[in-house]
Amino acid sequence: METESLKLARLTKLVTEHYHLEPISISRQQGGWASLAYRIETPSNTTYFLKEYEKKRSSTPKLTARLDKYIPVTCWLNENTDLAGKIPVPLKTQSGEYVCENADGIFLLYEYIHGETIGEKALNQAQIEQLTHILAELHKVGNSIPVPAEHLTEDFHVPFMNALNETMAARHLPPRLRSAIKPYENVLFEHLSILQELSSKLAGRMLPLRWCHTDIHPWNMMQSDHQLILIDWEGLKLAPVEADLMFLTDETYFHDFFALYKKIHPSYIIDEEALRFYKIRRLLEDIWEFTEQFLYDEQSEPEKEGTLKQLIHELDALKRWGR
């Protein structure tokens, strides 16, 4: 098995070649479920954050397919709206690209955000207000910006639906996976059917589209000095704003959030059909992600056991939501 020192040596080579940096140290940081993270110290006392999407992960092709499409939008938003300093944008390589890669992974480099991830902590009132202003500002922007949005526009397609259906119907699933899914088969099939119906209906409607983050949760929020920062913009999409609001409607602070949001967007009314679509799609998408990880990722036995626990947690969430 590869040692950590060899891995870090390859990262040093990567940032030296692509960014002309001379790292004093590179240390692993807590990453998300989909990526690894590293802190880079340099002689100039400037600190950087390196994000890696591992090529061995089954989720990486999907997460990295749109990097060259969504990053120009975040750069435009950072330069032309009140979101400046509230969203991270990657640094360019020496060749002018936002992305570089080696045999291990695909990488983005950022200036380091000195602060704390909100994570399991509750948002305080100031953070709720700042989150509201970030989303309200983002939702002011539609498809009129001078950046192509063709591959970032919501079409209500559900790309994982066939794969999830086929997996549930497969005869030769690993026994542990089959045992995990079986108690939830009825609720899974029911919500797949509902999602298909909503997908068809919404595709035929002319809903207003705005730029949306589409992954609003406390692990994607950081507090830096007095500013809340929204990170991880891989899901950036031109979509109905319910694609963002669906994450907040069940939060205890939603009343305060929505009251302020309505002051900025006074004519807005929640579209319940779109809201339901996004809630069900997210629940089923998470179920598929963990199923896919269990089936196809290179995982140790403890990692497989952890993936299975996360899958069961999401299946329970779907069952509770469907009541």
What average pLDDT does range 176-191 have in this prediction?
95
> Does 134 map to a domain?
yes
In the chain, the number of structural domains is 2
pLDDT for 236-258, tens place per residue?
A: 999 999 999 999 999 999 999 99
H helical segments located in 42-184: 60-64, 67-80, 125-138, 161-169, 175-181
Q: Answer whether residue 161 shows pLDDT above 70.
A: yes
Sign of CA dihedral 270, 272, 273, 278: positive
- End-of-domain residue from the set 112, 144, 168: 112
Joined together, the tokens standing for residue 294 give: 């269990």
Which residue's structure tokens are 């700042």? 130
Q: Please give the full DSSP string across 43-110, using - where no structure is assigned.
A: TTS-EEEEEEEETTSTTHHHHHTTHHHHHHHHHHHHHHSTTTTTS--PPP-TTS-S-EE-SSEEEEEE
So what's the pLDDT on residue 62?
Answer: 86
pLDDT for 193-210, tens place per residue?
A: 999 999 999 999 999 999
So what's the pLDDT on residue 2?
Answer: 58
Q: Is residue 196 located within the same domain as residue 314?
A: yes
What is the domain extent for residue 68? Answer: 4-112
Contact 172, 178 (CB under 8 A): no
Q: Is residue 203 located within the same domain as residue 93?
A: no
What average pLDDT does range 117-122 have in this prediction?
95
Joined together, the tokens standing for residue 309 give: 């626990």
> Does 75 map to a domain?
yes
So what's the pLDDT on residue 171?
Answer: 83
CATH number, residue 68: 3.30.200.20
- End-of-domain residue from the set 112, 146, 173: 112
What average pLDDT does range 265-286 have in this prediction?
97
Q: Is residue 98 located within the same domain as residue 138?
A: no
- End-of-domain residue from the set 85, 112, 139: 112
Q: Is residue 80 located within the same domain as residue 136?
A: no
Q: Find the helix packing angle between 254-264 and 125-138, rounded to 10°.
A: 40
Q: Answer whether residue 1 shows pLDDT above 60.
A: no
Q: Is residue 135 located within the same domain as residue 107?
A: no
What average pLDDT does range 70-95 have in this prediction?
97
